[in-house]
Amino acid sequence: MTNKFNALLGIFDVGNVKFFFLVAKKNLKNLIILSILISLLILIVSLNLEKKYISNATIVIEPDDNKIVNIEEVYSIEAQSNRINNQMAILKSDEVQEYIVNDKKSSTKFKNLFAETEINFFQRIFSKPKNFDENHLKSILTKNFSVINIPRSDVLQLSFISSNPKISQLALVSIIDSYQRYEIDSKIKITNYANQKISERLNDLVAQMDVAQKKLSEYKKNQNLVDTGNVKELKIKEIQSISERILEAKKNYQEQQNDLLSIKVADGDVDALLAIKDLRSREEISNIKASLTANESNIQSLSLIYTDKHPKIIQANELNDSLTLQLKKILDENIQQKAFELSNLDNFIKLSEEELQNSTDELRIIEEKEAGMLKFSREVESSRKLYESFLQRVKETNEAQNLQVSKLKVIENPNLPTSPFSPRPSRNFIFAFIVSFFGLYSLLYYREMNSSVIKSPETIESLNIPQIGILPRVEKLKRGFHILQMFVEDGASSFSEAIRSSRAIIESKFEKNKSYMVTSSNPSEGKTTYAFNLSLSLEKSNKVLFIEADIRRPSVLNGFYQFDKEILGLGEIISGTIDINKAIFKVPGTELDIITSGEKRFDMSDIVNKEQIKKFLDVLKLDYDYVIVDSPPVQPVSDTLILTQAADYNLFVVRSEETRTVSFMSSIKKIQNVGAKINGIVINDLDTSKDSYYSYYYSYSPNYYYHKN
């Protein structure tokens, strides 16, 4: 849960959960006291506000089951689509209110109850007394009455709000009664009006029926029609029969064509001709074919007994030749007959198609005549049905005048409220306390983030980042001394002791042969002072290299120390002007190696990337125990975000009572957004005289003049 909340806060760049709790803990007493005072004020106001009572009722307005309600229903079947909305509008209408106002008994009850209603303190002061009259009663009924519809139902929920519970109940009872009276009176008026309009419409329909009947009769006379229904049916059957005959004839025609084609291909070959199904299946041909088959079997049997010269074999062969000639003759006759049949079929199909076309034309003429007759018949039938319908409506409206009842059903009667729903002092008190507490806290947190500065270590404890150094405030410096090399010039000072403590933490917590980047949110927060003094302290027992990585600004060290030759630095290394070894110099009087920023000025992020910087630092770590990188500040320069990704450890310096909380939080977030992390925080320029804890450890009282860097 904490991680999710931290992620949410990260979106808005407003800190984390622990910082939230730290601000709350710091101001908890004042927050509670102010919230209680505001809540008490709200409670006092709530106790003196006008009490409001609400009466509720539930009703159902059923749809009308009789067929006559208004004249619109005669012509429209969708007249009930907005029925519920219409009924809700009627409940709120002036007509219903008029029934209440004009009822003397009801008006008197309202007047007496208003006279009994107590007036609270605020009303006595800020409100003028109002005379009770019809307009005042109407105004109250309009403003305080509400009705809602339960979705997908005919159920309506009514409510009325008043300062007197009896008025709330009486108002709902009066509205329901008035609606029922209005509904019945309206129905009687509507049915009377409908009866009048329907009677007028009946007279028009009688005339229309006469005209339609005359038109139909005249049309039948002109077209010589009596009833075309059976003629049309017979003609349709005739067309169907002709169509079937044509289809069957076309089928036979195609078969005959196929057989004649096969006969042409056979070219007189008896066996090929007998392969045609139609020829083979004819009786006279099949009989001769059977006789030939039997005679051939007889010849084969005789050949086994007699020689070819034997009279029986000769006789059998003569019979076989005779049957063969007879078969050919019959085949020729059948072929000629098939050609004749094909010609007849072709003529039959043509005649049938002409007959079909004539029948179709006759049917079309019949349908055209029938369409004209049906048009007039429909007019007659429509007029007749309308006449019967309106005649039935006349009977129903006559009955409805004597049977009008309200369709409103009360499910829950208006209740008499026993307690006010508004105001609720206890709820208002709790709500005011919660809102004021969080509102005041938000203002305090905003002030803490945007106006406050980091004053003590407790302020940043919520970040769970180790504090690896707390540097005391240096009030004065001895003449000729500089804070940049305080560790060397005044080793007995409390500042130097703080550097030693920070060195001990770094040596125990972090590994050797690593790179350490030192940065801050903005300039002049002491990052260079800390980084250089830390390098001087580590140099006592380690091989240390100090790199001034702020290429965009002139070299602080180059201006502070007087070197005996031209100083080229990191800018020249990155641009490829010189080798690394030519840019390394010794700090006078120490064994500390340094690489200054050099003379070239450019945006580091435009020239190199994090992989190149990392390889550069990895090469230096082979020769040095500690590589200290003094980077530019996070907020104004983008170079630091590359360095944080390349360095092994990142140290962050904040200046007590000057580094703004919002700037610090934003810098941390920027570093985290590029996938890097802060491994340690150094608090610089802490006034230890205000804290007994730090005064105990920093017991020195140095007389130094303070100089920012």
Encode pLDDT of 493-515 as tens digits: 888 999 999 999 999 999 999 99
**DSSP state letter for 46:** H
How confident is the model over 325-345, as a mean pLDDT? 80
CB 628 within 8 A of CB 527: no
Which contacts (CB < 8 Å, 24+ apart) does range 183-189 have? Answer: 183/90, 183/406, 183/407, 183/408, 184/404, 184/405, 184/406, 187/69, 187/400, 187/404, 188/401, 188/404
Structure tokens at 447: 């002030």
Gyration radius (Cα) of the chain, Å = 58
Provide the pLDDT for residue 76: 44
Residue reference for tokens 């010849």? 299
400 compared with 315, residue with greater pLDDT: 315
132 compared with 646, residue with greater pLDDT: 646
CB-based burial label for 105 (10 Å; 0-12, 13-18, 19+): exposed
Strand partners, 660: 453
Provide the pLDDT for residue 133: 78
CB 460 within 8 A of CB 664: yes
Task: Answer yes or no: is pLDDT of 473 > 80.
Answer: yes
Strand partners, 518: 630, 651
Provide the pLDDT for residue 120: 59
How far apart CA 495 and CA 249 sit, in angstroms, is 125
SS3 of residue 688 by DSSP: helix
Task: Answer yes or no: is pLDDT of 327 > 80.
Answer: no
Provide the pLDDT for residue 324: 82
55 band by pLDDT with thresholds 50, 70 and 90: very high
284 band by pLDDT with thresholds 50, 70 and 90: confident
Measured from the Cβ of residue 340, the count of other Cβ atoms closer than 10 Å reads: 10
Task: Answer yes or no: is pLDDT of 651 > 90.
Answer: yes
How far apart CA 596 and CA 588 sit, in angstroms, is 14
Task: Answer yes or no: is pLDDT of 167 > 60.
Answer: yes
Task: Answer yes or no: is pLDDT of 629 > 70.
Answer: yes
538 band by pLDDT with thresholds 50, 70 and 90: very high
Domain boundaries 453-697, corresponding CATH code: 3.40.50.300
Provide the pLDDT for residue 626: 96
- With b meaning 16 or more CB within 10 Å and e meaning fewer, what string describes 534-547? bbbbbbeebbbbbb
Provide the pLDDT for residue 544: 96
How confident is the model over 277-283, as a mean pLDDT? 74
Task: Answer yes or no: is pLDDT of 75 > 50.
Answer: no
Provide the pLDDT for residue 705: 33
Encode pLDDT of 373-431 as tens digits: 666 666 667 667 666 676 666 655 555 445 445 678 888 999 998 888 777 788 888 98
487 compared with 675, residue with greater pLDDT: 675
Which amino acid, one-letter code, is at 36?
I
Query: Minimum mean pLDDT among 556-560, 565-569, 679-683: which range?
Result: 556-560
Task: Answer yes or no: is pLDDT of 109 > 50.
Answer: yes
Strand partners, 628: 516, 546
CB 331 within 8 A of CB 285: yes
Provide the pLDDT for residue 554: 63
CB 471 within 8 A of CB 487: no
How far apart CA 201 and CA 198 sit, in angstroms, is 5
CA 391, distance to chain mean position in Å, is: 56
Encode pLDDT of 170-228 as tens digits: 999 999 998 888 877 777 777 666 666 766 766 676 677 667 667 666 766 676 665 55
Encode pLDDT of 347-361 as tens digits: 888 888 888 888 888
Query: Minimum mean pLDDT among 163-172, 193-202, 696-705: which range?
Result: 696-705
> Angle CA(463)–CA(466)–CA(468) in degrees, nearest 5?
135
How far apart CA 59 and CA 155 sit, in angstroms, is 6
Task: Answer yes or no: is pLDDT of 476 > 60.
Answer: yes
Task: Answer yes or no: is pLDDT of 547 > 90.
Answer: yes
Helix 610-621 with 639-646: angle, nearest 10 deg: 50
How far apart CA 148 and CA 665 sit, in angstroms, is 52
510 compared with 559, residue with greater pLDDT: 510
485 band by pLDDT with thresholds 50, 70 and 90: confident
Provide the pLDDT for residue 511: 92
14 band by pLDDT with thresholds 50, 70 and 90: very low
Structure tokens at 383: 């007029």
Percent of the chain with pLDDT over 90: 17
Residues in the chain: 709
539 band by pLDDT with thresholds 50, 70 and 90: very high
How far apart CA 597 and CA 483 sit, in angstroms, is 20
HEC per residue, 216-281: HHHHHHHHCCCCCHHHHHHHHHHHHHHHHHHHHHHHHHHHHHHHHHHHHHHCCCHHHHHCCHHHHC
How far apart CA 82 and CA 76 sit, in angstroms, is 13
Which sequence spans correspond to the domains of the chain? 50-422, 453-697
463 compared with 470, residue with greater pLDDT: 470
How far apart CA 399 and CA 404 sit, in angstroms, is 9
CB 462 within 8 A of CB 681: no
Residue 270's contacts (CB-CB under 8 Å, 6 or more residues apart) are: 324, 327, 328, 331
